[in-house]
Structure 1
């Protein structure tokens, strides 16, 4: 289903589906960071609202392809989970003002060096890109599975009710994809989430307290937590985080380019990186978060077959509206974890299938390619399932490898470089008059 004749209601519905797909991740980061830093309820409410607003603006920046920035693909941006632990560490040691000083510096760093990062695309042949996208999908699956069971810390984790809800939503999405066509099929995830939430409400598993207590209007405020401070340690840490975000987003860009049959050139990546740098800088100015391209929405693009950027523009506008009207934003928070898990697990699986499709272009007769895939997938999935794997490393190193996506991605890039360099060094000019035994 391509863009051309998508009407207003259809566009809104498809955009809303993208918002619901990434909503849990978008609001989870401010909730984790805010509570870890002991923010008040009022400050926490601001953090969630400004995060949604900035997610929307960041999404529009990427969709608006122009001479200077914007990838022009159907991508949705959200707050990066990679930044959670570093933000808490910086806030605890240096104060909240240092968090936002480091985010502003990190965003400017990406902006200034976007052209240099664009030249590194040569380090991403199919064996690397396919591995990275597969790792992204694999690293997301455990979150989806935990949500199916009720979510971390749930008192009824793994209960039959939670499992029936989650598998019911999954079954409905599959049924709609099997028997429906066109717009209804494209909305299968949204229909599944709404139906699952209605059933959960009848079972008494939906709490409307947050909706009742939320305010009707919340305007953004520059430097809400005070003027930023610029400390060397936090700035260097956030620069590393931003580099990690660039690596992760590169994999997502490549996956979407394959799905949308849109070949990306070096200048496209540069514009994409600049848009993310702008989004991160904006996050620092309005006391929000570093932002990156969300992989879960890639799965939705592939599942819905709607490849137009107009849909993510609609999603960006919805996110801005939610950020300005917390009362409406709170409605999305009532979706029970099992319902969300049933919907997201199929989308995360679609990301994995995209990666496998990309690996189809790899020459598997080359043992070195097999080793790159084997090691990157193993370490990426291992670091995701066993997050304490690198707990004994120094803080600076732990930030780099604490995320399974980054661990696996760096492994794929470095191993590919190692084998490529070795192949070149072993290439010896052959004299046509001599035979080689």
Structure 2
């Protein structure tokens, strides 16, 4: 498809809208958890959005040292929310950023070695991981569709009509539109849903009026970073967990873009992610990881060009510099976003199933790997308090359905398949 600048811009906006709510919610939760002032929270949200753009560009721009070179969007990792609040309350916010800086440097240093683990990610693992990612995100979409968890009008008829109405608009566009119009179905659905919501008085522009026009990033905005061992080890663990999540996204995008992901590609991708985490610490933002909702968007739109992500990255930087513009996206009602997210997250699940279609399910162990990894991922998502009695350092691994499901798939593949694969490889070499 020949994309004009206008079409690329529209697709870029679509990617920004897809990830914006997920990116903003992290600083809001962290700010409330560690007691930031309104002024501090304003900075945190702005710098987070700006750094999402920088991190995405770093990852898309493939060079000798960094960048996976795929149309991937990076945002702040939800895995870090609990640990950051715990560290901030016990050691102070400056210790949070000291730990993030060190964890970023560690990821840069271990990227070469972590990438050699590619043999532990055959289709039975990557397909399971991508499926788990999609499944664990569906509750987020459903909560938003109902009005947002904890909202006074949660599950009201108005919210449900708006949410499912937005989804219906997207489906109708996909059924009857062609070409470019079909590729921006999500964007059209969100815009149409927001316009409809305005007639119900559900579009709040107060955040726009209260925002400033310009907000420049400043290194060490919250003070000189401090370095304590426990926070550092905690954030290193968070960063490694994020690499596991990102690996599934890399393989999913590689499959969508019909590009084979090798060890060198992973090394550059991990290194770019480590650099993004390091810069997040410098500018007092967050650790960054791949955003899977944008993978679903790429699959839905069929547009796989990196120029769209460069454009989205530039828009995110602009939004971070001009909070008043960025606040406009906060006016999109949660039910509208939820309706769009069902389609996007559902496509992530569908693509995981497609990746699993290459797996030999005549082997019972492969069925068991998929069953247990998806079961663990979904189980923790539905019943998050199941591991509440564990130590907080362990809960970093057990609180996230994505992380626990991914680690289950990797571990079971090693138990059931790795030794057989290694033995057959050695036998082949001897016979040769």
Q: TM-score, normalised by structure 2?
A: 0.97
For residues 114-193 of structure 1, what are the structure 2 equivalents within 5 Å? 114-193=111-190
Partners in 1 of 2:305 and 2:136 — Cα distance?
26
Aligned counterpart, 1:415: 412
Aligned counterpart, 1:53: 50
1:21 CA drift (Å)? 0.2
Deviations 1:104-162 (A, max 9, x none): 01100100000001000110011000000000000100000111111111111111110
Aligned counterpart, 1:110: 107
Q: Name structure 1 gaps, 5 residues minimum.
A: 431-437
Partners in 2 of 1:368 and 1:422 — Cα distance?
13
Aligned counterpart, 2:218: 221
Aligned counterpart, 1:69: 66
Match of 2:363 among 354, 359, 366: 366
Aligned counterpart, 2:30: 33
The alignment's C-alpha RMSD in Å is 1.3
Change (3 A) 1:169 1:229: same
Match of 2:281 among 274, 278, 284: 284
1:91 CA drift (Å)? 0.2
SS in structure 1 at match of 2:265: helix
1:425 CA drift (Å)? 9.6
Partners in 1 of 2:422 and 2:47 — Cα distance?
52
SS in structure 2 at match of 1:327: helix
Match of 1:342 among 331, 339, 343: 339
Deviations 1:234-254 (A, max 9, x none): 000001000010000000000
Partners in 1 of 2:422 and 2:351 — Cα distance?
33
Aligned counterpart, 2:377: 380
Aligned counterpart, 1:435: none
1:423 CA drift (Å)? 4.0
1:351 CA drift (Å)? 0.2
Deviations 1:372-407 (A, max 9, x none): 001000001101111111111112111112100000
Q: Name structure 2 gaps, 5 residues minimum.
A: 428-432
1:422 CA drift (Å)? 5.6
How many matched pairs?
Answer: 426
Aligned counterpart, 2:95: 98
Aligned counterpart, 1:255: 252
Partners in 2 of 1:424 and 1:78 — Cα distance?
36
Q: TM-score, normalised by structure 1?
A: 0.96
Partners in 1 of 2:269 and 2:232 — Cα distance?
22
Partners in 1 of 2:217 and 2:79 — Cα distance?
24
Partners in 1 of 2:346 and 2:239 — Cα distance?
26
SS in structure 2 at match of 1:113: helix
Partners in 2 of 1:350 and 1:309 — Cα distance?
20
Deviations 1:335-386 (A, max 9, x none): 1000000001100000001100000010101011011001000001101111
Deviations 1:273-319 (A, max 9, x none): 01100000000000000000100000000000000010000000000
